[in-house]
Chain A
Amino acid sequence: MKDNYIPLSSLSVGEKAVVKKLTSKGLIRRRLMDLGLINNTVVEVLHKSPLGDPVAYLIRGAVIALRSEVASMILIEKFNLEEK
């Protein structure tokens, strides 16, 4: 089960996933949680910036840009097609 967790940064544009774990600590963890990034939150990769980083994500109806360092601290599970 745990093996399925991958960092959010590894998703490609258009993919959807469910947040399973935040590995970040301190301020950035609180910031992310304030934005509603808690366990089982659905996240969609919207688009990349011109240089590929940061990337814009759809989180609870809002578009939030995250740098790759932050996105790699968000562990997710890919959306299965059946679950859709």
Chain B
Amino acid sequence: MGLSKTATGLNILQDELKIERTSPEDKIIALGGNPNVGKSTVFNKLTGLNQHTGNWPGKTVTNAFGAYNYKNCNFILVDLPGTYSLMANSVEEEVARDFICFAEPHATVIVIDATCLERNLNLVLQTLEITSKVILCVNLIDEAKRKNINIDLEKLSEELGIPVVGTSATKSIGLSSLMDEIYKLCCNEVELTPINIKYTKEIEEAISMVEEKVKTMIPSKLNPRWTSIKLLEGDMKLLNSIDKYLGFDLSKENTIINEVKRARDFLKTTGIDSDSFRDITVSTLVNISERISKKVVTINNKDYDDFDRKIDNYLTSKKFGFPIMAFLLMVIFWITISGANIPSEILAKGFTILEDSLSLFFQWINAPSWLHDVLVLGIFRTLAWVVSVMLPPMAIFFPLFTLLEDLGYLPRVAFNLDNFFKKSYACGKQALTMCMGFGCNAAGIIGCRIIDSPRERLIAVITNNFVPCNGRFPILIAVTSMFFAGIVKGSFQPVILTLIVTTVIVLGIFMTLLISKILSKTILRGLPSNFTLELPPYRKPQVGRIIIRSIFDRTLFVLGRAVVVAIPAGLIIWIMANVYIRDSNILTFTANLLNPLAKLIGLDGYILLAFILGFPANEIVIPILLMSYMATGSLTELNSLAELKDFLVANGWTWVTAISVMLFSLMHWPCATTCLTIRKETQSLKWTIVSFLTPTLAGFAVCFLVVNLIRFFNLL
């Protein structure tokens, strides 16, 4: 069960170590730091790349890299996953540690949070044990000032013996000095006198015993003192990594192994076993951090975080915690649904005019009518549908969601919901991966790396699909708007729609918990492991950036993908509709084949076929469906959702079909990209298949149950 050792870190790292250098002169800079210190913002500001940022731990889950030029020198910046330590306790830590250790960056920049300097220094010290080429970037310096926290950067630099730069990346403060320090360090223009980290007398003696032997034998890339400490600690993962990257199998070097044994025996005589060895080394670092922090940090206002506490007291309280969560979710949906209407109509009208001109153009060039039908009535019309129906809700939903993310609300959601996840024998951080799934399930699955326990990580991977990604979310909104807006008249319509969409999402969360529990009791048996979750300070969101980022990174990306996939899909549909087997075309033939199964769950053969053909990307399920209906039936003008509804009703849709489509789009197989990502992350075909089947079976079961309940009560 679970992930094999080879499955977790190194394979992934190997992919990620391949950095495209444009010339051998390029300088490689590693960017490390605790989670949630604004590392990605520093990265974006320096490279101009759009690494997605958010105010919650574990945002950068894979190494992103980008380049920038400074003083005619090319720098390649590698954004490492945010970690609290480099002890390789988790996949992320291993990735970060191995990069700093084996990729031999010309410099390592550690970004730390000025408002939480002491805790952050621990990682700086750990990095300094591996390499001296470190630059400290004290970020969020403006935030610290606002909270009346003063940091003596010069003294900090003196204490650590490395360059220290204060920055406020969001406001672009201090970045040029940071680039300057990186440049100077890479050109050997800085004298580094890194702090001497000394342990207790006994441990120092053991270290020097091992170091003596290690010094002469190991590859020069490794720091002998640090390697000795790790050997004494019994860090097997490091031995594997050394073998993997440097082709040096330390475990076969008997001289070293024997000396490690001798040093350990010596330690035992002083009462230090490998557990307490680690305790002492970690404690030493924490104590040094505390000492330095006391010297350089002055807090003028002891109650600097009172405001955060007060907010937390509401957002996570017994009385208001859940109501506020539900309220915020509904507000977002309400704004999305009612705000999307008008731009949707405007876009649809614009596309109709464009379609008319296109038709005229085709007449003018005397194009054959089948070509006009395929390109204009088939592909163009469905693309127009994708854009006018999907673009507005996405362009509204994502900035709003990103706003919550930027504020730091998502970790509070995880905090509030953790108890449910614990009862499902799962990890509370699954709430965070769920939130990532809203954007894209593939991203959510990569995000599952923030979960330490392999068992809980698999559960999070398998259930991630129960959150509708941005390819499926507009289906929910569109179908709800078409079929359930009519329940009430007038201004209450958006309220009803909001309630319905919220119910569907809550059902998705409920299914996530239920399936997690079932998995924990069956194929992924085990007890909930322990978790620690940081609740970062609330931050002022960067509204302008949010709007630009969410439109460019998410909305246009998703839309682009939909368009790219929709064109070949349109072609396939056209072929299927025009190639005949006996007396029916392939489309009808296949749909008829699927019909009995589809009818069981309240769909029809064409809908199920659309979901199957939508495997490459969920965005195209509805367009495919429309194309299939059009290919077999009469062509209709689809200027508005109302006309679309009439078209669907003409093809046999009822409100029960609508419910089934919504449920099935919430629960069916993950899209192709997600499946590939699952395969890559779990390194196992078996778990990919489980991840494919679980939501599919759940979808069939729930749809079957709901449809038959409705039929049963209708009969009564």
- A residues with a Cβ closer than 8 A to B are 24-25, 27-28, 30-36, 38-39, 41, 46-54, 56, 59-67, 69-70
* Nearest neighbor of A63 in chain B, beta-carbon distance: B535
A49 and B87 CA atoms in complex are apart in Å by 30
Q: Tell me if B357 is interfacial: C-beta within 8 Å of chain A.
A: no
Contact, CB under 8 Å: B89 / A47: no
If A36-B118, A62-B119, A67-B530 touch, whether A50 touches B283 (CB-CB below 8 Å) is no
A34 and B416 CA atoms in complex are apart in Å by 24
* Nearest neighbor of A51 in chain B, beta-carbon distance: B419
A54 and B533 CA atoms in complex are apart in Å by 10
A36 and B428 CA atoms in complex are apart in Å by 21
A63 and B304 CA atoms in complex are apart in Å by 13
Contact, CB under 8 Å: A66 / B312: no
Contact, CB under 8 Å: A47 / B118: no
Contacts of B116 in A (CB 8 A): 60-62
Contact, CB under 8 Å: B278 / A30: yes
Per the 8 Å Cβ criterion, residues 594-630 of B in contact with A are none
Contacts of A27 in B (CB 8 A): 89, 452, 529
Contact, CB under 8 Å: A38 / B286: yes
Q: Tell me if B424 is interfacial: C-beta within 8 Å of chain A.
A: no
Contact, CB under 8 Å: B309 / A65: no
Contact, CB under 8 Å: A65 / B283: no
Contact, CB under 8 Å: B415 / A64: no
Please tell me which one of the listed residues B117, B279, B289, B415 contacts residue A54 in the complex, with CB atoms under 8 A apart: B415
Contact, CB under 8 Å: A62 / B534: yes
Contact, CB under 8 Å: B322 / A50: yes
Contact, CB under 8 Å: B89 / A64: no
**Interface SS of chain B:** helix
B17 CB to closest chain A CB (Å) equals 25
Contact, CB under 8 Å: B286 / A65: no
A18 CB to closest chain B CB (Å) equals 13
Please tell me which one of the listed residues A38, A51, A63 contacts residue B282 in the complex, with CB atoms under 8 A apart: A38
Contact, CB under 8 Å: A50 / B318: yes
Contact, CB under 8 Å: A47 / B309: yes
If A36-B122, A36-B289, A69-B530 touch, whether A49 touches B419 (CB-CB below 8 Å) is yes
Contact, CB under 8 Å: A33 / B532: no
A70 and B422 CA atoms in complex are apart in Å by 13
Contact, CB under 8 Å: B532 / A49: no
21 of the cross-chain contacts (CB-CB < 8 Å) are A25-B275, A27-B452, A27-B529, A32-B532, A33-B282, A34-B85, A34-B282, A46-B312, A47-B313, A47-B316, A50-B318, A50-B419, A54-B419, A56-B535, A61-B118, A62-B534, A63-B534, A63-B537, A65-B415, A65-B534, A70-B532
A84 CB to closest chain B CB (Å) equals 13
Contacts of B318 in A (CB 8 A): 48, 50-52
Q: Tell me if B115 is interfacial: C-beta within 8 Å of chain A.
A: yes
If A56-B316, A56-B415, A67-B422 touch, whether A31 touches B532 (CB-CB below 8 Å) is yes
Contact, CB under 8 Å: A65 / B529: no
* Nearest neighbor of B419 in chain A, beta-carbon distance: A51
If A47-B312, A47-B313 touch, whether A61 touches B119 (CB-CB below 8 Å) is yes
A51 and B312 CA atoms in complex are apart in Å by 14
Contact, CB under 8 Å: B317 / A50: yes
Contact, CB under 8 Å: A28 / B283: no
If A33-B279, A50-B318, A56-B535 touch, whether A65 touches B418 (CB-CB below 8 Å) is yes
Contact, CB under 8 Å: B415 / A35: no
B235 CB to closest chain A CB (Å) equals 11
Q: Tell me if B321 is interfacial: C-beta within 8 Å of chain A.
A: yes
- B residues with a Cβ closer than 8 A to A are 84-85, 87, 89, 115-119, 122, 275, 278-279, 282-283, 286-287, 289-290, 308-309, 312-313, 316-318, 321-322, 415-416, 418-420, 422, 428, 452, 528-537
A45 and B84 CA atoms in complex are apart in Å by 21
Contacts of B317 in A (CB 8 A): 47, 50
**Interface SS of chain A:** mixed
A70 and B289 CA atoms in complex are apart in Å by 24
Contact, CB under 8 Å: B535 / A28: no
Which 8 interchain pairs have the tightest Cβ spacing?
A: A50-B321, A51-B419, A34-B85, A63-B535, A65-B533, A38-B283, A70-B530, A34-B84
A25 and B289 CA atoms in complex are apart in Å by 23
A25 and B276 CA atoms in complex are apart in Å by 11
Contacts of A67 in B (CB 8 A): 418, 422, 428, 528, 530-531
A26 and B89 CA atoms in complex are apart in Å by 10
Please tell me which one of the listed residues B308, B416, B533 contacts residue A64 in the complex, with CB atoms under 8 A apart: B533
Q: Which of B116, B415, B528 has the most CB of A within 10 A?
A: B415
A46 and B537 CA atoms in complex are apart in Å by 13
Contact, CB under 8 Å: B287 / A50: no
Contact, CB under 8 Å: B418 / A49: yes
Please tell me which one of the listed residues B119, B322, B422 contacts residue A53 in the complex, with CB atoms under 8 A apart: B422
* Nearest neighbor of A53 in chain B, beta-carbon distance: B419
Contact, CB under 8 Å: B119 / A36: yes
A47 CB to closest chain B CB (Å) equals 6
B481 CB to closest chain A CB (Å) equals 33
Contacts of A69 in B (CB 8 A): 530
Contacts of B115 in A (CB 8 A): 61
* Nearest neighbor of B414 in chain A, beta-carbon distance: A65
Besides A38-B287, A66-B530, A67-B528, 13 other CB < 8 A contacts?
A: A30-B85, A31-B452, A38-B279, A38-B282, A41-B286, A48-B318, A50-B416, A53-B419, A59-B119, A62-B534, A65-B415, A65-B532, A67-B530
A62 and B113 CA atoms in complex are apart in Å by 10
Contacts of B452 in A (CB 8 A): 27, 31
Please tell me which one of the listed residues A30, A36, A61 contacts residue B89 in the complex, with CB atoms under 8 A apart: A30
Contacts of B536 in A (CB 8 A): 63
If A30-B87, A67-B418 touch, whether A50 touches B316 (CB-CB below 8 Å) is yes
Contact, CB under 8 Å: A34 / B122: yes
* Nearest neighbor of A55 in chain B, beta-carbon distance: B415
A32 and B313 CA atoms in complex are apart in Å by 24
* Nearest neighbor of A65 in chain B, beta-carbon distance: B533
* Nearest neighbor of A24 in chain B, beta-carbon distance: B530
Contacts of A30 in B (CB 8 A): 85, 87, 89, 278, 282
A32 and B89 CA atoms in complex are apart in Å by 12
Contacts of A35 in B (CB 8 A): 84, 119, 532
B148 CB to closest chain A CB (Å) equals 14
Contacts of B290 in A (CB 8 A): 60
Contacts of A48 in B (CB 8 A): 316, 318
Contacts of A46 in B (CB 8 A): 309, 312
Contact, CB under 8 Å: B428 / A56: no
A75 and B116 CA atoms in complex are apart in Å by 24
